[in-house]
Amino acid sequence: MCFDEPSKQLIRETRTPIPASPGQPERVDYEYERNGTANLFMTFEPLAGRRRVKVTDRRTKIDFAQVIRELVDEQYPKAEKVVLVMDNLNTHKLSSLYEAFTPDEARRLIGRLEVHHTPKHGSWLNMAETELSVLGGQCLDRRIGEKDERRSEVAAWEPRRNTAKCRVDWPFTTADARVKLKRLYPSIQTG
């Protein structure tokens, strides 16, 4: 399971765009009004082609903890361990679970997780980042000014993508990783 999250601006039009007509493209004024941000939490199971996106108001440790509980209890309630790949963002700490839940609940959730962090400056290794790029290009590549509109757009995109079982074609092999990421691996001295 891959996990990532971007924060996206909410941008309103200040003038009504002029729709496309024969021989004329749509015309949109360059001026816009910033209407805050919305956060997108993406969990993506690359081999099954299944993803879940949650749109939240913020990107806090508590929000992260809530998404992790949903992942463990709702998406994979029968899994003994959920293997999770994520970057080292300051909110992506298992200690966040202790801030959001009782110690017993936090321990229960942590006991169901096996976490692997991507290397520093290596978040591109996380396939959820690739899937977020697809979401941006297919669904969010225009001005969206309201959180509810963003939620409804994401809610329409997600089941279509899941039904199609779209997967990430990942050509990066272990051998490639050993060459490209050589500086991140410890060297073994012999003799």
Structural domain count, the chain: 1
The 3 state secondary structure assigned to 75-144 is HCCCCCCEEEEECCCCCCCCHHHHHHCCHHHHHHHHHCEEEEECCCCCHHHCHHHHHHHHHHHHCCCCCC
Residue 61: inside a domain: yes
- Residue 79 forms part of a structural domain: yes
Domain presence at residue 24:
no
CATH number at residue 100: 3.30.420.10
Q: Angle at CA 60, nearest 5°, toward 54 and 64?
A: 50
pLDDT reported for residue 92 = 83
Q: Is residue 160 part of a domain?
A: yes
pLDDT of residue 5 exceeding 80: yes
Q: Is there a domain that residue 148 lies in?
A: yes
Average pLDDT over residues 120-131: 76
Tens digits of residue pLDDT in 28-70? 888 888 899 999 999 999 889 999 999 999 889 999 999 999 9
Q: Residue 134 falls within a domain, yes or no?
A: yes
Q: Is residue 83 part of a domain?
A: yes
